[in-house]
Structure formats: structure tokens, C-alpha cells
């Protein structure tokens, strides 16, 4: 029995679960998708909340430029560029044996400053928000001050009275740890077993306490939560439920809108935008997708990508059970090389808030991510970590269903020719050279075997 039902009964009512359990790459387009005007209210947050987060990041820009000189080039705004990837698109068309019309682009969050992954959005935002709340309450700061004053011994001594705790598979811990330590906070990162050694080493070099667990992400998060509950000076960054993380991610969309306009890319009903977002617990892709829906309305279609071994969001939204079900309930092991995506139970908050705004979900095998990693390097000269490749097959999954789901959604041949497909590359620039060489070797070997 699984959650009060036999396995056969699950398979009868939810046939895709059989494919997920067999670890087959699976695609599910969401029959419950609803126009933005009707569904955006589900989220419980508004454009004003996103604007508030954006304004806060602007206030911190002066501080970030001082504390992290690599942010000076972009005036203290942590942002990544977009690049076209036509060569990879061509190779994918051959690999998947189907025409791939439209233009494929990459969003390089892999190269975000400070922590080199998408977590440099939400994770850093939440630390800054917490620091601002404390500093304003203590009258160490006013909203009109030059926030560069926070780069001082006085401010660090003040923040040093406070703690921050977080549970992570690696990248969130990196963002919270590096940012928190720079401000002066005492940061503890509870790391799951799959976290890479170099991430733990980097954090320790920054003066962050790293506690290692033999179990997966959920346990690391629970431990972080417990530490914080026992200590009123400790702020817990709740990756499963945090509204602030979510808002930090959502700011990406308005900036993307400017970037697309600068690149002369039109997004409207006739020129749809498809965005492929790697999903772990769901906060990062959920927050970005929320921002995208506010920025582009029904012209943007958001698709989440997960490893075949960790399809928690697909399972949660497909069954409507959200965080009441885990992949382990069905015997799926949640073991994947895709850092950040090894999550067995999705965020209940994100799944419920976003379920009517997301067009689809699909799974990708680890071998496919490695192969694509090598192809990305060979044809576009870009080095990404395995999880960042999860969005690449999305274009083929979408186009394979042109006559079905998408025709019902009203898209025609001309729309496909004019579409933009944006792959969100979520991490990679901080991976040490040796590790990257090993990833590439693995990918090339898979390619040579065909
Ligand atoms: C965390 C992470 C994701 C997904 O973010 P969630 O909020 O866990 O869904 C995707 N890619 C990378 C590299 C990450 O670190």
C-alpha cells in the first residue's frame, strides 16, 4: 500500500506514475493550466511584492559593489546575460531526430556573481532582506542611507550577534553562507549527503559552519529548522516554504524582459516564449515563473525539468498531493548527479501556488544531462554543471506535442517559427576545473557510445 492505496490503483488512476517509477524520461503537459488573469491570485503575492524586492536589491547595490568587487561591472546588480545557442539547437535536432523551429537561447545563471548559481538570486535576497530588517529595527540604517556603510566592522559586529541556518544540497548553502558570512552573521549550513566536497570546503574557508548528514535534503532541512526553533537569535532560511526566497527569484523576469527587448526579441501571443527551468524543491523555478507570468502574461509558457530519479514536483502536481507525497513513497530513490535537483518531496507552497500557471513538467536521465553537458561545451563553448542541462531537452518535448496539447492551446505553425525557447542554465561557473573535466569526460564517453 502507498498512502492508503494499492500500487495498481495508483497506476490505474495516474498512469504516468508507472513511467516515473520505471525511471523513464516522462513529459506531462498540464490540463489544468489557466489564464494568468484568473490564476495569478492563487499565489498570494503581487507585482507590488516583486517591485518591493527589486527596490531592496537596488538599495543593496552599493554594499554589494564594495563587498564583492565582481559585481561592480553591473553596478552591484546580480544578473546574468542571455546568449543564443544555435549550434546546440542544430545538434539537438539531429539527436532527437525532429525539426526544432524557433530560436533557442540560454539564460546564464550559471555565471551569476558571488555564488555561481540561480541561488544567487533567492538565497542572497533572503539574507539581505533579513539583514535590512535587523539593521532598520536597531536604527543602524535608514532606507535612505548609502548601504555601503554595511561594509564596516561596526555592522559586522552587529550582525555577528545573530545566526542564520539553512538546509541544502549545496548551492543554496553556498549563497546563504557566502553572503551571510560577508555581512558578519554566524551561519550554519546543514548539508545533505549528496553535497559536493568542494562546496563544503569553500564554505568553511568563508568561516561558515558546515554540518554534514548521511541522509538526503529533507533531513538536512529538518535539522536546520530544529536548530533555529531552539534559538530566537537564529533565522532559518526555509527552502520548502520561504516567500522571501521566492520573491528574490521572481525579480529575474523584469530584467529578462529588458534583455529580450535589447536583443530585439518580441514576446506576445504571436511570438510565444517558452522557458525551461530545472526544478528541485521548486522555489527557484517557481519564483522565476511567477515573475515571468507577471511580466509576459499568457505569452510565456513555463516548463519545469527534473531528474528521472527525483520527479517530486511532477508527482506532486500531477496527483494534486503536492508535499503530501514523496518520490520515495513509490520506491524512487532520489539519487542523482544533478546538484540542487536531488529533492524527493516538493514545496507544498510552490506547487499549490503555481499549479494553474505552469504548462508542463518533464524528466531527464542523468546520462542525458551528462551527454548534453559535453555537447554544450563542444558546440557552444559553455561549461555548465549537470543540473543546468535539464532544461535543454525541453524544446524537443514541447515540439513533439505540437498537434496535441499546444494545438488545443491555440498555437499554430507560424507561432512555432516565431517562438523563443529559453533554457535556464542554473549553475556551473564555480565548479573546480578537475570536477568539470570529470563531468566532460563522462559526457563525452556517453556520446561516443551513442
Ligand atoms: C537549487 C537549484 C535548482 C532548483 O531550485 P529549487 O528551488 O530547489 O527548485 C536548479 N539548479 C541548480 C543548479 C540549483 O542549485
Check whether residue 324 and residue 350 sit in a common domain. Answer: yes
State how many domains the chain has: 2
292: cell is: 515571468
Check whether residue 42 and residue 95 sit in a common domain. Answer: yes
Considering the domain boundaries, does residue 42 fall inside one?
Answer: yes
Strands 27-29 and 360-364: antiparallel
CA distance 121 to 254: 13
Check whether residue 158 and residue 36 sit in a common domain. Answer: no
Check whether residue 253 and residue 289 sit in a common domain. Answer: yes
Considering the domain boundaries, does residue 1 fall inside one?
Answer: no
Q: Ligand 1: which of 106, 196, 240, 278 to mutate, judged by most atoms within 8 Å of the beta carbon?
A: 278
279 CA: nearest ligand 1 atom: 9
CA distance 172 to 123: 6
Given 240, 273, 294, the domain boundary residue is: 240
For position 443, what pLDDT does the model report? 98
Strand order of the β-sheet with 420-425 is 27-29, 360-364, 300-307, 273-278, 420-425, 103-108, 82-84
Which range marks the domain in which residue 143 is found? 119-240
Determine which residue's CA is closest to atom 1 belonging to ligand 1: 340
From the list 241, 247, 256, the residue with the least C-alpha distance to 51 is: 247
The CA 303 to ligand 1 mean position distance, Å, reads 14
9: cell is: 490503483
Considering the domain boundaries, does residue 426 fall inside one?
Answer: yes
CA distance 326 to 332: 9
Check whether residue 312 and residue 193 sit in a common domain. Answer: no
Check whether residue 204 and residue 224 sit in a common domain. Answer: yes
171 CA: nearest ligand 1 atom: 15
Q: What phi and psi values does residue 422 have, to the nearest 5 degrees? A: -110, 115
The CA 402 to ligand 1 mean position distance, Å, reads 28
DSSP 268: B
The CA 282 to ligand 1 mean position distance, Å, reads 7
For position 192, what pLDDT does the model report? 86
Considering the domain boundaries, does residue 183 fall inside one?
Answer: yes
Check whether residue 180 and residue 223 sit in a common domain. Answer: yes
Considering the domain boundaries, does residue 46 fall inside one?
Answer: yes
CATH code, 394: 3.40.50.1100
Considering the domain boundaries, does residue 71 fall inside one?
Answer: yes
For position 216, what pLDDT does the model report? 81
The CA 108 to ligand 1 mean position distance, Å, reads 14
313 CA: nearest ligand 1 atom: 9
Check whether residue 325 and residue 443 sit in a common domain. Answer: yes
284 CA: nearest ligand 1 atom: 7
From the list 198, 223, 248, 200, the residue with the least C-alpha distance to 45 is: 248
Considering the domain boundaries, does residue 102 fall inside one?
Answer: yes
pTM: 0.97
The CA 39 to ligand 1 mean position distance, Å, reads 24
DSSP assignment of 184-233: T-EEEEEE-TTS-HHHHHHHHHTT-EEEE-SS-HHHHHHHHHHHHHT-TT
Given 240, 272, 298, the domain boundary residue is: 240
Considering the domain boundaries, does residue 337 fall inside one?
Answer: yes
For position 214, what pLDDT does the model report? 86
**Ligand 1, residues at Cβ distance < 6 Å:** 117-119, 171, 278-285, 339-341, 343, 387-388, 426-427
The CA 424 to ligand 1 mean position distance, Å, reads 11
CA distance 153 to 155: 6
Torsion of CA 261, 262, 263, 264, to 10 degrees: 50
Given 222, 240, 258, the domain boundary residue is: 240
Check whether residue 233 and residue 136 sit in a common domain. Answer: yes
343 CA: nearest ligand 1 atom: 8
Q: How many residues does the chain have?
A: 450
For position 208, what pLDDT does the model report? 96
Check whether residue 127 and residue 203 sit in a common domain. Answer: yes
Q: Which residues are paired to 117 by β-bridges?
A: 427
- All residue ranges of the chain with pLDDT < 50 are none
DSSP assignment of 10-57: HHHH-THHHHHHTT---EEE-TT---HHHHGGGGS--HHHHHHHHHHH
283 CA: nearest ligand 1 atom: 7
The CA 278 to ligand 1 mean position distance, Å, reads 6
CA distance 328 to 350: 20
Check whether residue 37 and residue 129 sit in a common domain. Answer: no
Check whether residue 96 and residue 138 sit in a common domain. Answer: no
279: cell is: 526544478
For position 63, what pLDDT does the model report? 98
Amino acid at each position: 500500500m502507498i498512502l492508503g492505496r494499492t500500487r495498481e490503483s495508483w497506476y490505474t488512476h495516474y498512469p504516468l506514475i508507472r513511467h516515473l517509477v520505471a525511471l523513464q524520461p516522462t513529459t506531462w503537459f498540464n490540463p489544468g493550466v489557466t489564464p494568468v488573469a484568473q490564476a495569478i491570485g492563487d499565489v498570494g503575492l503581487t507585482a507590488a511584492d516583486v517591485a518591493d524586492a527589486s527596490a531592496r536589491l537596488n538599495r543593496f547595490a552599493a554594499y554589494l559593489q564594495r563587498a564583492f568587487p565582481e559585481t561592480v561591472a553591473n553596478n552591484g546588480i546580480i544578473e546574468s546575460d542571455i546568449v543564443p545557442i544555435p549550434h546546440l539547437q542544430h545538434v539537438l535536432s539531429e539527436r532527437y531526430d525532429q525539426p526544432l523551429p524557433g530560436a533557442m537561447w540560454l539564460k546564464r545563471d550559471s555565471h551569476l556573481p558571488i555564488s555561481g548559481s540561480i541561488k544567487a538570486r533567492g538565497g542572497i535576497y533572503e539574507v539581505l532582506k533579513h539583514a535590512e530588517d535587523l539593521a532598520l529595527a536597531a536604527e543602524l540604517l535608514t532606507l535612505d542611507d548609502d548601504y555601503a556603510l554595511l561594509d564596516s566592522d561596526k555592522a559586522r559586529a552587529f550582525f555577528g550577534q545573530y545566526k542564520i541556518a539553512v538546509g541544502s544540497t549545496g548551492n543554496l548553502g553556498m549563497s546563504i553562507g557566502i553572503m551571510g558570512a560577508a555581512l558578519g552573521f554566524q551561519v550554519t549550513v546543514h548539508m545533505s549527503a549528496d553535497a559536493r566536497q568542494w562546496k563544503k570546503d569553500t564554505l568553511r574557508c568563508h568561516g561558515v559552519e558546515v554540518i554534514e548528514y548521511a541522509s538526503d535534503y529533507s533531513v538536512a532541512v529538518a535539522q536546520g529548522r530544529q536548530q533555529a526553533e531552539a534559538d530566537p537569535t537564529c533565522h532559518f532560511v526555509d527552502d520548502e516554504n520561504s516567500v522571501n526566497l521566492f520573491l528574490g527569484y521572481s525579480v529575474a523576469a523584469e530584467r529578462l524582459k529588458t534583455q529580450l527587448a535589447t536583443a530585439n526579441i518580441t514576446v506576445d501571443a504571436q511570438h510565444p516564449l517558452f522557458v525551461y527551468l530545472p526544478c528541485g524543491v521548486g522555489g527557484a523555478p517557481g519564483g522565476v515563473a511567477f515573475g515571468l507570468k507577471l511580466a509576459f502574461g499568457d505569452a510565456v509558457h513555463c516548463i519545469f525539468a527534473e531528474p528521472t530519479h527525483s520527479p517530486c514536483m511532477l508527482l506532486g502536481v500531477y496527483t494534486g498531493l503536492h508535499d503530501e507525497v514523496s518520490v520515495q513513497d513509490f520506491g524512487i530513490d532520489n539519487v542523482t548527479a544533478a546538484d540542487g535537483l536531488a529533492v524527493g518531496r516538493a514545496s507544498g507552497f510552490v506547487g499549490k501556488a503555481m499549479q494553474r500557471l505552469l504548462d508542463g513538467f518533464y524528466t531527464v536521465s542523468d546520462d542525458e544531462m551528462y551527454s548534453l553537458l559535453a555537447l554544450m561545451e563542444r558546440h557552444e563553448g559553455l561549461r555548465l554543471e549537470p543540473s543546468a542541462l535539464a532544461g535543454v531537452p525541453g524544446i524537443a518535448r514541447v515540439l513533439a506535442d505540437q498537434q496535441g496539447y499546444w494545438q488545443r492551446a491555440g498555437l499554430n505553425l507560424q507561432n512555432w517559427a516565431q517562438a523563443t525557447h529559453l533554457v535556464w542554465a542554473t549553475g556551473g561557473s564555480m565548479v573546480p576545473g578537475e570536477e568539470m573535466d570529470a563531468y566532460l569526460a563522462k559526457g563525452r564517453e556517453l556520446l561516443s557510445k551513442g
